[in-house]
Amino acid sequence: MTTTDDYATYIASLPRVLAGAAALYRDVEGRVLLVEPNYREGWALPGGTIESDRGESPRTAARRESAEEIGVDVPLGRLLAVDWTLGAGRPPLVAYLYDGGVLDAAQLASLTLQEEELLSWRLVEPAELTAYLPGSLGLRTQEAYRVLQSGEGTAELENGRPAAGPVPTP
């Protein structure tokens, strides 16, 4: 067996990890933009799977998904949170959450939902996020909003809860 074969075998033996990225958009009143998927119960943030097989980075994925899902294609702000999430019946997920910025009334009025995936959108008060977003997604989003408001660095999370405290911003 060649070294190339050994390396390929090694790579194939590694555990599988999913990766996703989303953006945290707010209105001028500080409410968070959520979207309602048609393929599962509950609400979500604009975002989705990172297409790493096409060389996509988490930031690029969050921007692409936002453009596809809600018609918003703007440069994203800083990384607010990274979350390592274990799930039943699926591999672990590494989720990246970026600051999408504040959308004004005109931008909100011109949102265009991706009909293949989304039913509707709504603005939610930060204190109500866990009532709309299931499990670690709700906790992740609340922690990202807290980090955004406080000016702290990126939150390192495990299942939506702080793992080791905020990582300082360089």
Domain range summary for the chain, segments of one domain joined by +: 17-167
| Percentage, residues of the chain above pLDDT 90 | 78
Work out the end-to-end distance of the chain between its first and last CA atoms, rounded to an integer number of angstroms: 45
Convert the pLDDT of each residue in 2-34 to its tens digit. Answer: 677 788 888 788 778 899 999 999 999 999 999
Taking the domain 17-167, which CATH number applies?
Answer: 3.90.79.10
d(CA 110, CA 74): 14
pTM: 0.89
Residue in 68, 78, 83, 53 with CA at minimum distance from that of residue 164: 83
